[in-house]
A and B are shown apart, each in its own frame.
Chain A
Amino acid sequence: MSEKIGVYVCHCGTNIAGTVDVEQVAQWAGSRLKERGVIIARDYKFMCSSLGQELIEKDIKELGLTRVVVAACSPHLHELTFRTACAKAGLNPYLCELVSIREQVSWVHTDKEAATTKAQAVVAGGVERVAYNESLEPLKVPIHADTLVVGGGIAGIQAALEIADAGYHVYMVEREPTIGGHMAQFDKTFPTLDCAACILTPKMVQVGSHPNITLSTWSEVENVDGYVGNFTVTVRKKARYVNTDSCTGCGICWEKCPKKVVDEVYEAGFGIRKAIYTPFPQAVPKYPVIDKENCIYFIKGTCKACEKFCPTEPNSINFEQEDEVIEVQVGNIILATGYDLFDAKRIPQYNYKKLDNVFSSLEFERMCNASGPTNGNIVLRDGKTAPKAVGIVHCVGSRDKNYNTYCSSICCMQSLKFAHLVMERTDAEVYNFYIDMRTNFKDYEEFYQRILEEGGHFVRGKVAEVTDAVRFPGEEGKLIVQVEDTLIGKQRRIPVDMVILSAAMEPRHDSKEVGKQFGIACGAAGWYIERHPKLDPVATMTDGIFIAGCVQGPKDIPATVSQGAAAAARILGRIQQGEIALEPIRATVNEEQCSGCRICNDLCPFNAILFHENTMVSEINPALCQGCGTCVAACPAGAISGTGFSNEQILAQIDGLLLLNVGDETIPA
């Protein structure tokens, strides 16, 4: 063994030393592992302190250490610290190995003798392993300066504007005919009650007219290829059947269109639109689309009213238009595709869509909106009668193990907003049926207090049923909300005229497939998993793919905007660096040994393994390879090696960990 290995055992105050005899571990390593190449073994109070690091640096310089093992806390905490210390002393940082004797020894065990023995084994594992560590250099990958933002809701809008304003180009892709997302459907926003359109539409216009933003609405991402810094994205621009070069958005076509369609998206099924339409007057872009499924011309072959009345020259209606598939090159991607509303029909006892005056929260948002189907009047389904009593049911499809266990986070505040709007615009009594009130952000609790003062009624209990079945006098012609009032411990039947179901936010129905397309994973509930739930909430495990807004979990507008801006900031930092350093944990094929069996080819989920038909060997693209090592383990010829986690390193570590069990004879010299 020609390596000169230094072993450093940390006390971490009493965190480690309290359970592990640190001095003994160091002494043992210095004597017992001497023949394994250990030339110095020290213990120190806090290895991560600057004095501790200097200890390592000094030994590297003076004793000529070629390998370093630090036995301290988890590598997820201080690996970088010690690698940097080694690099400062001129040793390749990847020749330093941090083994954990805190999280995985001292903190989880109580028997000092057993813990000390285990710590010795862990150190021996590190010593054996480090001898096979190789000098590595981080992979440098150039970053394409353009960014793709998928989803034109408030999260995507914020992110796109931040990046575009900083002077870099953004492609925004939106599935619907206009950007704006769910926020554009709302009337007021809590807790300030400013009008959603008033604060959103200026930003929409900015996106539409920004010189650095290329906006593709009525478009979907079809395919994503490549890796951080260098993605190739295929976008399908669905045929609008409207020529955007000549269209002025005057609106005569949808005025003249004879076909009325229930608008399931923007009006949440509560209002109607035409077969040629823009979802709402302030839509960006202003150009309409023809809904082919419902257009009389596409169904029957005759009509063309829109074409007839189109005043532009040349005519902007083009029934022959076809989908266009474009490719864009980008360095980073932000996924901001938002959420779906929980379908309240799934809870049969609430009788949504069976009883007329049971509304979903989005329906009610549209009802309140001055440009909505009722011009902002709060009325029953008949369109004219004002309700005398309104029940608002919280936690519909959330905090319910039958549907979603999570708290949908915005529904309490949204319900309070509804209560306020009902009381402001009608004389109705308002009953909120809640499990717990959750109003835990700036000015939210104050808003709750305000609704209490305004005379809103609050009943604590989960609603069992919404029914029109009369059981007592006075319930005729009413909706009865059956609920256990848990504060008084009694069942109550509260007759109301209108029920609003505060439905949960749910992951997009296609979030799994979309996630797969972009190479990111969904958690159990279906929200995309962030790189770290606290310290890295907008990055994902796939480098170069960021998430913002409700794709990451239910959240309100301020949090959504913050995430959009945060994702943009992360990307801007990278663009300005020009390149990004990646961990050099990669698999490589030894051409000499590769038999061309292609077993590895299908194992790689990142398509990083390329088979050369002419030479009959496989090759791994280091930029696509993520370093999982599955192919390394699978190669029957042993032709693939995984840097950082090679067979030699792991087998040696096993030997080291078992050194105390079997003695020396199993350890190869």
Chain B
Amino acid sequence: MTEQFEPTIIGFTCNWCSYRAADLAGTARLKYPPNIRLIRLMCSGRLDPTFIFKALANGADGVMITGCHPGECHYLEQNYKALRRFHLVRRTLKGFGIEPERVKLVWASAAEGVKFASETTSFVEEIRELGPLHWGKNSGQFPGGGEPSEFEPAPESPEEVPA
């Protein structure tokens, strides 16, 4: 019996809804796997695709983007921009030969602690199914077998990312 793979997931949350949903999940003592690590942004619209590639390139096996439900954005409509970028990122990952399912988008209002916990739980399972990404870490998987930095197709700075 091999040891179960424990993925690492970076979660991007919106200050107004999903971060509060995560707070609520905590206050309500709901349980979800410890594989996710959260970053608070003011809005899902702040999500630069670079952040996602950076996370995946540096050892994350999946990225969960969370934001306010459509129509409920604190900044009126910026979550729609996150939605656009989400699709862009998924397409780009596919082009890299990486499973687009490694990036997930979840709408969670400040009241949806239960949803936040259950979506996190199922995403951890989904990534566990996909297995480790090994992008940048296990350089042997890439042709040439050089240092990880040689195999970082993800741009490092926003200049290189199309909006």
A: which residues have CB within 8 A of B?
A: 74-76, 100, 102-105, 107-111, 114-115, 117-118, 121-122, 125, 516, 519, 521-524, 529, 541, 585, 599, 603, 605-606, 626-630, 632-638, 642, 644-645, 647, 650-651, 653-655, 657-658, 661-662, 665-666
Q: How far is the CA of A115 from the CA of B75 in the complex (A)?
A: 34
CB distance B137 to A650 under 8 Å? no
| Of listed A523, A606, A651, residue having the most chain B CB within 10 A | A651
Chain B contacts of A105 at CB under 8 A? 34
User: With contacts A121-B37, A650-B41, A651-B51 known, is A521 near B71, CB below 8 A?
Assistant: yes
Distance A105 CA – B23 CA, assembled complex (angstroms)? 10
User: Across the interface, do B81 and A634 meet the contact criterion of CB distance under 8 Å?
Assistant: yes
Q: Check A654 against B157 for contact (C-beta < 8 Å).
A: no
* Partner among B31, B47, B78, B137 whose Cβ is within 8 Å of the Cβ of A662: B137
Chain A positions within 8 Å of B47 at CB level = 633
Contact A633 B46 (CB under 8 A): yes
B159 touches A (CB below 8 Å): yes
CB neighbors of A among B122-140 (8 A)? 136-137
Distance, CA A117 to CA B78, complexed state (A): 34
Do residues B37 and A108 form an inter-chain contact, with CB atoms below 8 A?
A: no
Instruction: State which of A102, A109, A523 has its C-beta within 8 Å of the C-beta of B34.
Output: A109
Residue B98 CB within 8 A of the other chain: no
State the CA gap A638–B158 with chains docked (Å): 5
A-B contact pairs, 15 of them (CB 8 A): A74-B23, A100-B38, A108-B31, A108-B34, A627-B42, A628-B42, A630-B78, A633-B85, A636-B159, A654-B10, A654-B51, A657-B37, A657-B39, A658-B59, A661-B8
* B72 interface hit (Cβ, 8 Å): yes
B90 is an interface residue with CB less than 8 A from chain A = no
Q: A521-B72, A637-B159 are in contact. Are A645 and B46 (CB under 8 A)?
A: yes
Q: How far is the CA of A650 from the CA of B48 in the complex (A)?
A: 10
B residues less than 8 Å from A107 (CB atoms): 26-27, 29
Q: Which residues on the A side are within 8 Å of B85 (C-beta)?
A: 633
A523 touches B76 (CB 8 A): no
Within 8 A of A (CB), among B1-24: 6, 8, 10, 16, 19-20, 22-23
Given contacts A103-B26, A108-B25, A628-B46, 7 further A-B contacts (CB under 8 A): A521-B74, A523-B72, A541-B16, A605-B76, A633-B46, A661-B58, A666-B148
- The 8 Å CB contact of A626, one of B34, B75, B148, is B75
The reply to whether A599 and B163 contact each other, CB–CB distance below 8 Å, is yes
Residue of A at shortest CB range from B46?
A629
- Expressed in whole angstroms, the Cα–Cα distance for A576 and B30 within the complex equals 44
Partner of B8, one of A637, A642, A644, A658: A658
Which residue from chain B places its CB closest to the CB of A648 in the assembled complex? B157
Chain B residue with minimal CB distance to A585? B42
- In the assembly, what is the distance between CA of A658 and CA of B117, in Å? 21
- A628 touching B75, Cβ below 8 Å: yes
B18 to A: closest C-beta gap in Å: 11
Task: State whether A666 touches B58 (Cβ < 8 A).
Answer: yes
* B151 interface residue (CB < 8 Å to A): no
Question: Which chain A residues lie closer than 8 Å to B136 at the CB level?
Answer: 662, 666
Chain B residue contacts of A121, Cβ below 8 A: 37
Please indicate the chain A residues that have their CB under 8 angstroms from the CB of B8 in the complex.
658, 661
**Are B43 and A628 interface neighbours, CB within 8 A?**
yes
B residues less than 8 Å from A519 (CB atoms): 76
- B26-80: which have CB < 8 Å to A? 26-27, 29-34, 37-43, 45-51, 54-55, 58-60, 69, 71-78
Known contacts A628-B75, A630-B78, A638-B158: A654-B27 contact under CB 8 Å: no
Q: B52: shortest Cβ distance to chain A, in Å?
A: 9
Given the complex, which residues of B lie within 8 Å of A634, measured CB to CB?
81, 163
Given A585-B42, A605-B77, CB of A108 within 8 Å of CB of B26: yes
Compute how far the CA of A522 lies from the CA of B76 in the bound complex, rounded to whole angstroms.
10
Contact residues in B for A115 (Cβ distance below 8 Å): 34
Contact of B43 among A108, A529, A629, A655 (CB under 8 A): A629
Using known A-B contacts A111-B34, A632-B48, A647-B48, determine if residue A638 contacts B157 with beta carbons closer than 8 Å: yes
Contact B59 A666, beta carbon cutoff 8 Å:
yes
A-B pairs with the 3 shortest C-beta distances?
Answer: A103-B26, A629-B46, A630-B45
How far does the Cβ of B10 sit from chain A's closest Cβ, in whole Å?
Answer: 6
Contact B163 A635 (CB under 8 A): yes
Residues on B with C-beta less than 8 A from A650 are 39, 41, 48, 51
User: Which residues does chain B contribute within 8 Å of A100, judged by CB atoms?
Assistant: 23, 26, 38
Q: In the complex, what residues of B have CB within 8 A of residue A665's CB?
A: 148
Are A76 and B159 in contact (CB-based, < 8 A)?
no
For A651, the chain B residues whose CB sits under 8 A away are 50-51, 54
The answer to whether B48 and A103 touch across the interface, beta carbons within 8 angstroms, is no
The chain B residue with its CB closest to the CB of A121 is B37
Give Cα A516–Cα B49 distance, bound, in whole angstroms.
Answer: 28
User: Is the Cβ of A654 less than 8 Å from the Cβ of B54?
Assistant: yes
Contacts of A627 in B (CB 8 A): 42
Cα of A187 to Cα of B32 in the assembled complex, Å: 55
Q: For residue B81, which residues in chain A have a CB less than 8 angstroms away from its CB?
A: 603, 630, 633-634
B162 at the interface (CB under 8 A from A): yes
Instruction: Chain B residues near A529: list those with CB within 8 A.
Output: 72
Point out the residues of chain A lying under 8 angstroms from B30, CB to CB: 108
Give the distance in Å from the alpha carbon of A522 to the alpha carbon of B8 in the complex: 36
Residues of chain A with a CB closer than 8 A to B117's CB: 108
Residue in B26, B32, B43, B159 whose beta carbon sits within 8 Å of that of A74 in the complex: B26
Distance from A135 Cβ to chain B, minimum over Cβ atoms (Å): 19
Cβ contact within 8 Å between B26 and A104: yes
A628 and B26 in contact (CB under 8 A), knowing A104-B38, A635-B158? no
The docked-state distance in angstroms from the alpha carbon of A556 to that of B118 is: 37
Distance from B67 Cβ to chain A, minimum over Cβ atoms (Å): 11
A657 to chain B, nearest CB (A): 4
Residue of B nearest to A523 (CB): B72
Q: How far is the CA of A122 from the CA of B26 in the complex (A)?
A: 16
Is the Cβ of B75 less than 8 Å from the Cβ of A102?
Answer: no
Give the complex CA separation of A403 and B29 in angstroms: 34
Bound complex: CA of A642 vs CA of B32, how far in Å? 32
Known contacts: A102-B26, A650-B41. The answer to whether A110 contacts B31 by CB under 8 A is yes
A636 to B157, CA, bound (A): 10
- Distance in angstroms between the alpha carbons of A121 and B58 in the assembled complex: 13
A654 and B31: CB pair below 8 A? no
CB distance from B85 to the nearest CB of A (A): 7
B42 to A629, Cβ gap below 8 A?
yes
User: Please, how many angstroms separate the alpha-carbon atoms of A522 and B74 in the complex?
Assistant: 10
